[in-house]
């Protein structure tokens, strides 16, 4: 399978060292942010530095894209180099170098592009923090971009690991940005600890790669793959993809390790948009796409990825249906969409997975930023039951309609970009020779209907219907101060009955509006590769990008794949239909039905007849047979509680036992016990020192008398 699509061999190109600026610029801006904080410079200077640095690194990536003609390896400086012999397994090198192939560029384009836009958005969103945490916030963003660039552009797995941990650190710092709120601190710790579990797998996978191939540089690893080194399959070689995927599942919030992502919404919304929706969480997809040859060696590893992805997509979608916090709904939709990407990787279409990552990055960033604009304007209100009819409030039209675009894309409405990228995944699954992949494909279609439902549940609730809103009571997400400053020029429309009559939402200003508009354009534009293929019968840019990289095996155009994978063609022949129709047409029909059906159900329950949504819930809760369904969905299938019971409770009990032993045995018996001996002895003699001077004299005399008496006795006895 691999040898049919040899991985393009990288050439060494030291003259491209300027691409390293994409890494260096965010680092410089991070240093400048520290300087701003140290010098207590007021104003938006940190934001200016960050936005400029990120924009410059986006330009660097664009120039690198223009100059790109094939995979290159760009040495920058020697970083780690040890040798303890001349043999293959007796040296370890991890230079600071870049490995640039089309997959790298594909990723860097949206990482730096979205990073720039979201940093611009944050310059307005975070303005209430000016002076206090402003520099700290942009320091975190800069460090994140540096680490993410190292992760994506690094020449070896050591640089990937550096970036992997760096983005984890940035994520931790930014989730816990509002460090005085216990919920934010707990969420930051949870994200960090759950990621450590995955990172352990990644680290072990990297160790095993070195132990089996003697190198961690992609170019040499791929060379070994092309040379057919994969035919020797030892048990520990087959462990490698499983260990790597554990790391990917941790970072990308897949089934066993997904509960940190919804909690990460405690961070400021631009962070949720950039790190926890658009870029960082796709690192797991990148890792598997980058190391795809190693996964492709083991069909069972890919099947595991597919099952975990498909299962997570469904699980997260069902939870997302029953949440009331807008950001949480979007967080679960992120987990669900990431599930699709892993499903795509697992069933063997790296193109579908990576293209879905690309489209998802745009529309999910857009959705989060609209949610952030709402939160910013309505004093932290995010409960979709307490916001309604935003579309009719002047100043909120842009937010409403850009959110509508994001929702259409997330719902994979026919002929949107996400429709094509999701269908690429589902098509591959449904036409697979494996029955379980076909099953997962249908599961994915069902999930698509759920996705359309919960997405439009949010939009119909928040943006449509009668105008009604109330500000958050508890200053959710530390944005309480927002209602205190300027009301802007906007006021609720006539007839708006805000519960708190003194409250006026303030509409977003230029930075937020510009970014929302640009992102909406980007969201639409992300569909062009697919449109070009579907309507103009041209070539698909995204497919070309992925096909030219290490993930080539899963990204060939179909004719090519059919020719090359001769062994699989007869399997495909029997399965390239969906519901009796030709696969593409069939999927178009089924996918469109799922999406539109979900939207229509949402329209009925949350726009036309909101009472019937409550009635439905009451009916389900009233019947003991169906009662479990809403309860489990609202309580997130009790996953947190199960983890609590399985891990936290035993650990807590163990700590209590150890604490008891420490307190009563080590501390009580040994330390305090020994200390009690002199105390008791002191108590025995204390009455002698009552304070009467004569008493001391008497005791001295008595002592001397005793000594004398003893001496006399000895003396007399000696004379006998």
Partner 1 sequence: MNAFPAHALASTALEGIGQAFAAASGAQLSLSLAISALLFVIGLVGFMVRRNMIIMFLCTELMFQGAALAMITFARMHMDVSGQVFVIFILTVAAAEAALALGLVVLLHRRRETLSAEVWSDLGEA
In DSSP terms, 98 is beta-bridged to: 74, 154
Q: How far is the CB of 703 from partner 1 (least distance, A)?
A: 13
Closer by beta carbon to partner 1, 537 or else 683: 683
Q: How far is the CB of 665 from partner 1 (least distance, A)?
A: 32
Q: How far is the CB of 679 from partner 1 (least distance, A)?
A: 13
Residue 421, classed as helix, strand or coil, is: helix
Q: Which residues ranging from 167 to 206 are in contact with partner 1 (CB under 8 A)? A: none
CA terminus-to-terminus distance, the chain: 114
Closer by beta carbon to partner 1, 539 or else 699: 699
Closer by beta carbon to partner 1, 40 or else 686: 686
Closer by beta carbon to partner 1, 574 or else 687: 687
Q: How far is the CB of 687 from partner 1 (least distance, A)?
A: 6
Closer by beta carbon to partner 1, 69 or else 694: 694
Residues in Cβ contact with 445 at an 8 Å cutoff, skipping those fewer than 6 apart: 426, 590, 591, 594
Nearest C-alpha neighbor of 287 from the set 248, 255, 252 = 248
- In this chain, which stretch among 85-93, 241-249, 649-657, 687-695 interacts with partner 1, using CB under 8 A? 687-695
Nearest C-alpha neighbor of 205 from the set 162, 247, 262, 156 = 247
Q: How far is the CB of 686 from partner 1 (least distance, A)?
A: 5
Nearest C-alpha neighbor of 466 from the set 444, 497, 509, 432 = 497
Residues 644-683 as x/- pattern, contact with partner 1 by CB under 8 A: ----------------------------------------
Closer by beta carbon to partner 1, 83 or else 697: 697
Q: How far is the CB of 678 from partner 1 (least distance, A)?
A: 14
CA–CA dist 556, 514 (Å, integer): 37
Alpha-carbon separation of residue 359 from 53, 313, 366, 456, 684 (angstroms): 24, 17, 11, 18, 83
Closer by beta carbon to partner 1, 567 or else 687: 687
H or E element at residue 236:
helix 235-251
Alpha helices, DSSP H, located in 500-552: 510-525, 528-534, 541-547
Number of residues located near partner 1, criterion CB under 8 A: 11
Q: How far is the CB of 689 from partner 1 (least distance, A)?
A: 4
Q: How far is the CB of 695 from partner 1 (least distance, A)?
A: 8
Among 495, 686, 715, 719, binds partner 1 (CB under 8 A): 686
Q: How far is the CB of 705 from partner 1 (least distance, A)?
A: 11
Q: How far is the CB of 693 from partner 1 (least distance, A)?
A: 5
H or E element at residue 186:
helix 182-213
CA–CA dist 342, 440 (Å, integer): 12
Closer by beta carbon to partner 1, 486 or else 687: 687
Closer by beta carbon to partner 1, 675 or else 692: 692
| Other CB atoms within 10 A of residue 592 CB | 17
Q: How many Cα atoms sit within 13 Å of 324 on the Cβ side?
A: 9
Q: Which residues ranging from 247 to 306 are in contact with partner 1 (CB under 8 A)? A: none
Per-position DSSP letters for 19-58, written without gaps between them: GGHHHHHHHHHHHHHHHHHHHT--SSHHHHHHHHHHHHHH
CA–CA dist 141, 646 (Å, integer): 35
Q: How far is the CB of 698 from partner 1 (least distance, A)?
A: 6
Q: How far is the CB of 691 from partner 1 (least distance, A)?
A: 3
Among 567, 574, 580, 687, binds partner 1 (CB under 8 A): 687
Q: 6: which DSSP letter?
A: P
Burial of 717 (0-12, 13-18, 19+ CB in 10 A): exposed
CA–CA dist 405, 403 (Å, integer): 5
Closer by beta carbon to partner 1, 646 or else 702: 702
Residues in Cβ contact with 324 at an 8 Å cutoff, skipping those fewer than 6 apart: 383, 384, 385
Closer by beta carbon to partner 1, 690 or else 718: 690
Q: How far is the CB of 707 from partner 1 (least distance, A)?
A: 15
Q: How far is the CB of 674 from partner 1 (least distance, A)?
A: 22
Burial of 677 (0-12, 13-18, 19+ CB in 10 A): exposed
Q: How far is CA 117 from the centre of its chain?
A: 19
Q: How far is the CB of 682 from partner 1 (least distance, A)?
A: 8
| Other CB atoms within 10 A of residue 302 CB | 23
For helices 182-213 and 218-226, give the axis angle rounded to 10 degrees: 50
Closer by beta carbon to partner 1, 581 or else 702: 702
Closer by beta carbon to partner 1, 235 or else 685: 685
Q: 86: which DSSP letter?
A: S
Nearest C-alpha neighbor of 512 from the set 409, 406, 402, 417 = 402
- In this chain, which stretch among 2-10, 318-326, 386-394, 686-694 interacts with partner 1, using CB under 8 A? 686-694
Q: How far is the CB of 696 from partner 1 (least distance, A)?
A: 9
Closer by beta carbon to partner 1, 666 or else 697: 697
Closer by beta carbon to partner 1, 671 or else 698: 698
Strand ranges of the sheet holding 72-83, from the earlier edge strand across to the other edge: 11-12, 72-83, 91-100
Closer by beta carbon to partner 1, 624 or else 715: 715
Closer by beta carbon to partner 1, 88 or else 686: 686
Q: Which residues ranging from 688 to 717 are in contact with partner 1 (CB under 8 A)? A: 689-694, 697-698, 701
Query: Do 61 and 108 contact (CB within 8 A), yes or no?
Result: yes
* CB neighbour burial string for 306-341, b if at least 16 within 10 angstroms, e if fewer: bbbbbbbbbbbbbbbbbbeebbbbbbbbbbbbbbbb
In DSSP terms, 72 is beta-bridged to: 11, 100
Q: How far is the CB of 694 from partner 1 (least distance, A)?
A: 5
Nearest C-alpha neighbor of 303 from the set 446, 443, 440 = 440
Binding residues (CB under 8 A) for partner 1: these are 686-687, 689-694, 697-698, 701
């Amino acid at each position: 399978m691999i040898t049919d699509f040899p991985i393009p061999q990288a050439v060494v190109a030291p003259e491209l060292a300027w691409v390293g600026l994409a890494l260096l610029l965010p680092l410089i801006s991070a240093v400048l942010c520290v300087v701003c904080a140290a010098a207590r410079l007021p104003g938006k200077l940190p934001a200016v530095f960050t936005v400029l640095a990120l924009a410059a690194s986006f330009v660097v990536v664009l120039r690198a894209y223009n100059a790109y003609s094939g995979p290159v390896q760009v040495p920058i400086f020697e970083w780690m180099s040890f040798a303890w012999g001349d043999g293959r397994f007796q040296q370890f090198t991890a230079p600071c170098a870049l490995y640039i192939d089309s997959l790298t560029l594909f990723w860097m384009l949206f990482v730096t592009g979205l990073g720039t836009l979201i940093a611009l958005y944050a310059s307005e969103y975070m303005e209430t923090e000016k002076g206090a945490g402003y520099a700290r916030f942009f320091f975190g963003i800069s460090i994140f971009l540096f680490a993410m660039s190292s992760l994506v552009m690094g020449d070896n797995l050591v640089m990937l690991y550096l970036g992997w941990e760096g983005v984890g650190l940035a994520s931790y710092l930014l989730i816990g940005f509002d460090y005085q709120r216990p919920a934010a601190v707990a969420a930051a710790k949870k994200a960090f600890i759950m990621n450590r579990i995955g990172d352990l797998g990644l680290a072990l996978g990297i160790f095993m790669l070195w132990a089996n191939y003697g190198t961690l540089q992609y170019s040499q690893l791929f060379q070994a793959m092309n040379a057919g080194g994969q035919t020797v399959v030892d048990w520990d070689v087959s462990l490698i993809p499983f260990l790597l995927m554990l790391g990917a599942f941790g970072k990308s919030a897949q089934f066993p390790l997904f509960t940190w992502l919804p909690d990460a919404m405690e961070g400021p919304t631009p962070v949720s948009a950039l790190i926890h929706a658009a870029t960082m969480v796709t690192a797991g997809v990148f890792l598997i796409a980058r190391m795809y040859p190693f996964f492709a060696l083991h069909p069972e590893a890919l099947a595991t990825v597919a099952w975990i992805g498909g299962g997570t997509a469904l699980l997260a979608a069902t939870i997302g249906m029953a949440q009331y916090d807008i950001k949480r709904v979007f967080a679960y939709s992120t987990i669900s969409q990431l599930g699709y990407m892993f499903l795509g990787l697992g069933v063997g279409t790296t193109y579908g997975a990576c293209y879905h990552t690309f489209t998802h990055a745009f529309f999910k960033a857009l959705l989060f930023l609209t949610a952030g604009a709402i939160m910013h304007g309505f004093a932290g209100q995010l409960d979709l039951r307490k916001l309604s009819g935003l579309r009719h409030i002047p100043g909120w039209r842009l937010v409403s309609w850009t959110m509508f675009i994001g929702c259409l894309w997330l719902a994979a409405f026919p002929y949107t970009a996400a429709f094509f990228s999701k269908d690429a995944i589902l098509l591959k699954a449904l036409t697979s020779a494996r029955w379980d992949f076909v099953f997962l494909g249908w599961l994915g279609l069902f999930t698509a209907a759920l996705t359309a439902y919960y997405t439009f549940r949010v939009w119909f609730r928040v943006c449509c219907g009668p105008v009604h809103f109330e500000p958050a009571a508890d200053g959710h997400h530390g944005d309480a101060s927002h209602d205190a400053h300027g009301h802007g020029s906007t006021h609720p429309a006539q007839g708006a009955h805000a519960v708190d009559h003194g409250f006026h939402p303030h509409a977003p200003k230029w930075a937020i509006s510009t970014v929302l508009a640009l992102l909406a354009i980007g969201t639409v534009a992300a569909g062009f590769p697919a449109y070009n293929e579907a309507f103009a019968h041209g070539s698909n840019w995204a497919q070309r990008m992925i096909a030219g990289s290490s993930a080539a095996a899963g990204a060939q155009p179909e004719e090519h794949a059919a020719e090359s994978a001769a062994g699989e063609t007869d399997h495909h022949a029997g399965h390239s239909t969906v519901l009796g129709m030709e696969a593409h047409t069939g999927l178009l029909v089924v996918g469109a039905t799922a999406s539109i059906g979900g939207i229509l159900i949402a329209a009925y329950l949350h726009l036309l007849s909101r009472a019937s949504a409550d009635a439905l819930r009451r009916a389900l809760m009233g019947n003991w047979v169906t009662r479990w369904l809403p309860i489990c969905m609202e309580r997130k299938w009790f996953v947190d509680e199960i983890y609590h019971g399985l891990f936290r409770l035993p650990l807590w009990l163990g700590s209590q036992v150890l604490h008891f032993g420490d307190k009563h045995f080590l501390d009580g018996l040994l330390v305090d016990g020994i200390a009690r001996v002199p105390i008791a002895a002191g108590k025995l003699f204390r009455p002698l020192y009552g304070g009467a001077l004569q008493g001391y004299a008497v005791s001295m005399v008595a002592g001397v008398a005793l000594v004398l008496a003893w001496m006399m006795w000895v003396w007399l006895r000696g004379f006998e």
